[in-house]
Structure 1
Amino acid sequence: MMIEKSEAALRRSRLLLHASEALSATSTTADVLVTVPALLRDTMGATHAAVVPAGPPSGAVSAVSEILTGAAIRDRRSQFYESAIDLTVEHPVLAEDLAHLGWQAAVCAPLPGESGAAAGALLLAWDEPRTFYVFDRAVVATLALYVGQALDRAVKHDARTAITEALQQAMISQLPQVDDYDLAAYYRAADAQRVGGDWYDVIPGPQDRLALVIGDVVGHDPAAAARMGQLRNMLRAYLVDRREPPSTLLRRLDAANHALGEPTMATAVVAFIDRAPQGGHRLRWSNAGHPPPVLITPTGEVRPLTGNDTLLGARRNTPRHTYTAALPSGSTLLLHTDGLVETREHSIDEGFARLHRRLRRHDATRPRDLLNHVAADLARNCSDDIAMLAVRVPRAGAPAPADETARRLGISRPAR
């Protein structure tokens, strides 16, 4: 007798250890709802197993399951049915359905919820009559506890993820409609549960000027995202209100950054594309510790636009400079954060070299295709957040924005 009890205890321990390991690997509600039925069929030998959430009936759960588990959820007490007769006596309305399903025994066990009410129930069914000994009932109760804890953890995980995704989407800028330029942007968070500090902006301005911004706040948490939002909104106001070169705008931004409390450490590039006095287009930019913009000519030449000052928040009154470069007709400008070139396997210099090789090989004619190709080749191995912004300069002889588009965007047109 003692040997049988020892063997039963060992078997129970193995079953529950297997269940604990399987459930610890779940993170989302969908994971739990997929893992649990397979786990219960494996550990209990059930022919049918399901998790039935508490609440209004849903199309995802059969009416038979809803009715069978209703009492267990309501009374927070397990229901054991050892034969088809037990099932039909307790639930005569289900007699025909149960006969069709072939269920000869079943268990409905409530899942403990955080507030004391049952969060749902486990449903197990067998195609043969079954006697539920003390051992079986103890295993069912423990499994229900494990599943309830896993489901509670998964629900909280899903809620956090939904909040994070909503926050992140609210912080991703929408690209404006600009007739002269072909624009594209890419953003990827390193972790679905983490809000990043990367951002980009495109703001049309007067006299056909296009302002481009990309930045990266130190950190990868909601606090970093909040600091990023503060910097981004201050810079947006300066870009709309001021008619100053990029270096002056970054000086203003950093002065406010230091004056309004603990300064935020961040890198950023502010760049203007406009029509050069001699014709064509030019780029004016200022760089605060950020990866350099990359110019890709129609012939495939790839040139990083160097010129870099101290990152934002490092020290007060940092000297900043505006650099200028001609933009060949039909060329593409790429701005990106360091997540694209920094990996655990390669140094940042190797990352830049890999990016430039990829850009030289690209045959995409549109910025959107370019970013997709770069992301497919490089971003999959990166563990940091990534933001990219690309703009293609119009080819020679391309018309200026239509009057209606200019009016809609608030662009004042110079006298011709």
Structure 2
Amino acid sequence: MAPTDSARNLLLLRASEILSVTTTTADVADAVRELRGIVLDASHLHFVLAGGSSDPLAERAIGERRTFYFTDGADLAVAFPGQANPDSQAAACVPVVGSAGVLGALHLRWTAPRRFFVAERAVIATLAAYIARALERAQRLEARIGVADTLQDAILSRLPAVERYELAALYLPADRQEKVGGDWYDVVAGRGSQLTLAIGDVVGHDMAAAARMGQLRSMLRAYIVDRHEPPSALLRRLDTANHALGEPIVATAVVAVLDNLPHGGYRLRWSNAGHPPPVVIHPDKTVESLTGNDLLLGARRFARRHTWTTPLACGSTVLLHTDGLIERAGGTDNIDASQLHLHRRLHTCRQARLQDLLEDAVADVGTDRTDDIAMLAVRLPPDA
């Protein structure tokens, strides 16, 4: 019996709801299986991807871009002898067609002979169209994620191997699907025991922000390698290029240079362009934020930049981070309270491995955050 208009509409509404939440090709296949028994009481319902089929009927439907209906097992056995099965007394197979061609085929079977009325054929054709839209959406998302993974690999620096210092970094994107955003970090080993650290945050949390971030990061990296200048001079050069090469990119950044002094001990020099302050964890586990802040990048051409300096004791840890860490960590809009919360958190973190410290620092960060988090840390050797 052909479904009534009401039953057909309810069936297609349910199919639309199930398919609307799919995000991957595997999700679409699972959703189709979930529809078995709902769609015209079919005993067998599955989707076959083009190019991956071992189903002769589906392969023919895909290859010929043609819909097949078999009202009983005898008809099916004549057309496809290998498909003869007492449990297959009726079958339908319709190509699933997307904007760029055939994506696969939807295969249905019944255990009893069946006549396919116009209304039933309309239901099957509409369901195939729903599957095509869900599959194309999933494929676009999977391709976008693939691009994001490649972009992330390209823009997140590998930490250099250095003899004197322990280095660690951690990046958590706000967007779980695209996996990239506007945060970055970088480390460049210089002459002797000099180490230059950089961290920044471009406005935005998507691939567009990542692309803008990549421009700034690449320019700054080149300046660090080519110019042996104070951090403020490096940021000044970066912002000059930022304004000169088109619409300026709005971003925050810190450049910090760590030196092993000839007479013993260590020194940190840093310049801050509107970024959360660097944090020092002293050997006794007390935590200190390093003040000193200038305008963010892109805010004003020829903005003044300053270099600040502080001595560091052996065994100290320097932590650079983006604002996603303190915004979430404090659970408040009060920056001072958020930084205090971070200080308490860092005081209780595991210290044996620097990577453990970073992981503990974000342990209370939820999955519902709206900002990326980047963290970069360097630990000085315990003695000179």
Q: TM-score range by the shorter chain?
A: over 0.9
Please give the alpha-carbon distance, in whole angstroms, between the structure 1 residues aligned to 2:191 and 2:64. Answer: 69
Asked whether the equivalents of residues 93 and 105 of structure 2 are also in contact (C-alpha less than 8 Å), the reply is: yes
**Worse-superposed segment, 205-214 or 73-82:** 73-82
**If each structure's helix is expressed as a fraction of its own residues, which one has the higher value?**
1
1:175 maps to 2:153: no
> Residues 67-120 of structure 1, C-alpha deviation per residue, up to 9 Å, x if partnerless?
12122222323212233322222111333xx35xx33332211112213x4221
**Worse-superposed segment, 147-156 or 202-211:** 147-156
1:212 maps to 2:197: yes
Please give the alpha-carbon distance, in whole angstroms, between the structure 2 residues aligned to 1:76 and 1:293. Answer: 62
Please give the alpha-carbon distance, in whole angstroms, between the structure 2 residues aligned to 1:394 and 1:194. Answer: 34
Asked whether the equivalents of residues 198 and 256 of structure 2 are also in contact (C-alpha less than 8 Å), the reply is: yes
Structure 1 residues without counterparts, runs of 5 or longer: 398-416
* Percent of aligned positions that are identical: 54
Match of 2:10 in 1: 14
Please give the alpha-carbon distance, in whole angstroms, between the structure 2 residues aligned to 1:199 and 1:46. Answer: 52
Please give the alpha-carbon distance, in whole angstroms, between the structure 2 residues aligned to 1:354 and 1:346. Answer: 10
User: Cα distance 1:107–1:217, how it changes in 2: closer, same or farther (>3 A)?
Assistant: same
Asked whether the equivalents of residues 90 and 111 of structure 2 are also in contact (C-alpha less than 8 Å), the reply is: yes
Please give the alpha-carbon distance, in whole angstroms, between the structure 1 residues aligned to 2:35 and 2:9. Answer: 15
Match of 2:79 in 1: 90
Match of 1:39 in 2: 35
**Worse-superposed segment, 127-136 or 297-306:** 127-136
Q: What TM-score, normalized by structure 1, do the two folds share?
A: 0.86
> Residues 284-320 of structure 1, C-alpha deviation per residue, up to 9 Å, x if partnerless?
1111100011111232211111111111111122222
Displacement after TM superposition at 1:145 (Å):
1.2
1:274 maps to 2:259: yes
User: Cα distance 1:24–1:204, how it changes in 2: closer, same or farther (>3 A)?
Assistant: same
1:391 maps to 2:359: no
Tell me how large the CA RMSD over aligned residues is: 2.1
Asked whether the equivalents of residues 294 and 304 of structure 2 are also in contact (C-alpha less than 8 Å), the reply is: yes
Please give the alpha-carbon distance, in whole angstroms, between the structure 1 residues aligned to 2:367 and 2:267. Answer: 33
Please give the alpha-carbon distance, in whole angstroms, between the structure 2 residues aligned to 1:43 and 1:375. Answer: 47
1:238 maps to 2:223: yes
Match of 1:414 in 2: none
User: Cα distance 1:352–1:103, how it changes in 2: closer, same or farther (>3 A)?
Assistant: farther
Please give the alpha-carbon distance, in whole angstroms, between the structure 1 residues aligned to 2:363 and 2:297. Answer: 31
Match of 1:122 in 2: 106
Please give the alpha-carbon distance, in whole angstroms, between the structure 2 residues aligned to 1:380 and 1:265. Answer: 26
Match of 1:408 in 2: none
Please give the alpha-carbon distance, in whole angstroms, between the structure 1 residues aligned to 2:366 and 2:277. Answer: 18
Match of 2:66 in 1: 77
Asked whether the equivalents of residues 174 and 205 of structure 2 are also in contact (C-alpha less than 8 Å), the reply is: no
Match of 1:410 in 2: none
Please give the alpha-carbon distance, in whole angstroms, between the structure 1 residues aligned to 2:91 and 2:9. Answer: 22
Taking the TM superposition and a 5 Å limit, the aligned residue runs for 1:112-151 are: 112-115=97-100, 117-151=101-135
Matched to 2:88, the amino acid is W
Q: Secondary structure at the match of 1:376?
A: coil
Q: Secondary structure at the match of 1:341?
A: helix
User: Cα distance 1:381–1:20, how it changes in 2: closer, same or farther (>3 A)?
Assistant: closer
Asked whether the equivalents of residues 187 and 196 of structure 2 are also in contact (C-alpha less than 8 Å), the reply is: yes
Matched to 2:157, the amino acid is S
User: Cα distance 1:373–1:45, how it changes in 2: closer, same or farther (>3 A)?
Assistant: farther
Please give the alpha-carbon distance, in whole angstroms, between the structure 2 residues aligned to 1:83 and 1:376. Answer: 61
Matched to 1:206, the amino acid is R
> Residues 133-185 of structure 1, C-alpha deviation per residue, up to 9 Å, x if partnerless?
33322211111111112112221222122112212221111111111111111
Aligned length: 381
Match of 1:286 in 2: 271
Please give the alpha-carbon distance, in whole angstroms, between the structure 1 residues aligned to 2:38 and 2:7. Answer: 13
